[in-house]
Amino acid sequence: MSRILLNNSNAVLQAVTACSKTQSSPTVENHVVRRWQSLLFHMNKKHRQAATFRNNKMDGVSSDVIATMNISRCSSSAAREQPKCLQLENINPNFITMEYAVRGPLVIRAGEIEKELKQGTKKPFDYVIRANIGDCHAMGQKPITFLRQLLNLTFAPDLLNSPNYPDDVKKRAKEILNGCQGGSVGSYTDSAGLEVVRRQVANFIEKRDGLPCDWRNIFLTAGASPGIKSVLSLIRCEVGGKKPGVMVPIPQYPLYSATIAEYGMDKIDYYLEEETGWSLSRKELQRAYDEAKKKIAPRAIVVINPGNPTGQVLTRENIEEIIKFAYDNKLFVLADEVYQDNIYGQNSKFFSFKKVLIEMGAPYKDMELASFMSTSKGYLGECGIRGGYMEIINMCPKVMAMLSKSITASLCGTTAGQVAVSALVNPPISGEPSYDQYMKERNGVLGALKERAELVYTTLSSFEGYKVNRVQGAMYVFPQIEIPPKAVAAAKAKNMAADTFYATELLEATGICIVAGTGFGQKPGTYHFRSTILPQTPVLKDMMNKFKKFHADFMQKYK
């Protein structure tokens, strides 16, 4: 992959620049070009080093071997001269402009550093701390025993006769297997997922909200992302000759900007208020809507609660404001609620959009809403299993049929993910054999995350030039940093955003990988970064100590 990018580096930059000019603002254009230039710089450097190494090795190689190698290279070169059917100039241009910051060039560089460390390259650190992504188990979180036992029994039914598994887990495994065609999780499920699990999800939502839930409105998905993308794909349609637009909170989770770009739609930024704990104001929503409506057709609004990357938990009053705004402007609501179990603030409480919307009564109770949940977050942290669900209410039946048809084309979500959803929504209850261990593990995970949230807040708040909001929920901190003018100039000289420069310097000096605020969006003139609170406490303390020294050195260097 890196060689392809290297050989086509000019084409990449030309294509990115061209597509950015035609589809994005100058800010986006500069950002995209900068990110690709940075990536290509590292790849060119890597391949130059490899070429030097090869040349040195050739000194001891016979002329016959070299001749054979040259013939092979000539053959490969001739083959490469054949034009490819797909080139940057004739692929979907939206693929070039879309970005996913949490797996961008900085993360690629972190992977290269890990390989360099394994090869014996000396660094001022011994290991890389990947604080860039919410991958719980990769950061040392232990799996919940109940979930793994349920997976074991459903994927290896012979174990149902084993005395090593509790009866309550066996009972649940049998219920799931009875719902599978042929009694096997190796068979296809209904496109919306196993009925038995969808009914369990509906019961879970009813208990959470104290309101009825129709299991037929539940779709089991491979994580929350496919559900989000399927709903966004519905509004991929011009209205009155205008492109569709989606209102997205800034800072935002890059899935939304990437998907909106991929679908050729427009992202409508509305800014969260950092000064008041990343809250949301009706005035700002209206400003963003009115400004966008001049050129595009706003169709939907995305809300992330608890917030990613900002870690805030919306108050009920804030949610009511959003619902009223969406009603007044005929917007479909997408409620990303995957962190609903991750609540740390003493005065914070999670309210689902569905609960608030229905309890507000007419006319709001009939509004269209899609809400999303995942097994990747919360206390399970099962990112790789890919389990999730979405609930859709008040959608036009004909449109719901079209959505179902679209989902049918993907056949079904993974059965492993569906079993994980079952474990999430149908856990052991008091009096069952698995209950005590389950509660101990669940509370242990959430309690540790709460402690780490406080540790990160307290440490970063002590840094010169930092403004940090408390982590009320989710798994991230998103501090604002004042970067000295000298550092801003140094970043500009390298054609990098200042916060990307800061994050790059941090990675090279300490091995700590974070994500620059540029990748999430931020108010012009401000700089941020996102870091997870997921590293296990000893690693997190080491990370904070390294961070503290780096920042002091950085500020001294660029005074």
What's the pLDDT tens digit per position in 286-315? 999 999 999 999 999 999 999 999 999 999
Q: Decide if pLDDT at 60 tops 50.
A: no
Residue 17 CB-density burial (10 A; 0-12 exposed, 13-18 middle, 19+ buried) = middle
Query: Are 73 and 122 contained in the same domain?
Result: no
Query: Are 408 and 467 contained in the same domain?
Result: no
In a domain? residue 150: no
pLDDT of residue 416: 92
Q: Decide if pLDDT at 55 tops 70.
A: no
- Indicate which CATH number applies to the domain containing 497: 3.90.1150.10
Q: How far apart are CA 334 and CA 331, in angstroms?
A: 9
- Three-state DSSP class for 268? strand
Percent of the chain beyond pLDDT 90?
Answer: 67
In a domain? residue 392: yes
Query: Are 276 and 361 contained in the same domain?
Result: yes
Query: Are 265 and 383 contained in the same domain?
Result: yes
pLDDT of residue 217: 96
In a domain? residue 482: yes
Region class of 512: left (phi > 0), else alpha (psi between -120 and 50), else beta: beta
What mean pLDDT do residues 162-188 have? Answer: 95
Q: 């049918």: which residue's tokens?
A: 408
**Mean residue pLDDT across the chain:** 86
In a domain? residue 103: no
Nearest to 377, CA basis, from 133, 207, 104, 148: 133
How confident is the model over 219-273, as pLDDT tens digits?
Answer: 999 989 999 999 999 998 888 889 999 999 999 888 898 899 888 899 999 999 9
The band of 409, judged by pLDDT with boundaries at 50, 70 and 90, is: confident
pTM: 0.81
Radius of gyration of the chain (CA): 25
The band of 100, judged by pLDDT with boundaries at 50, 70 and 90, is: low
In a domain? residue 136: no
Query: Are 230 and 353 contained in the same domain?
Result: yes
The band of 9, judged by pLDDT with boundaries at 50, 70 and 90, is: very low
In a domain? residue 435: no
Question: Domain containing 327: what range?
Answer: 191-413
- Indicate which CATH number applies to the domain containing 210: 3.40.640.10
Cβ atoms of residues 484 and 505 within 8 Å: no
The band of 209, judged by pLDDT with boundaries at 50, 70 and 90, is: very high
Query: Are 220 and 355 contained in the same domain?
Result: yes
Query: Are 452 and 396 contained in the same domain?
Result: no
Q: Where does a domain end: 397, 413, 429?
A: 413
- Strands 476-477 and 529-532, by their bridges, are antiparallel
The band of 81, judged by pLDDT with boundaries at 50, 70 and 90, is: confident
- Residues making up the chain, counted from first to last: 559
Structural domains in the chain (count): 3
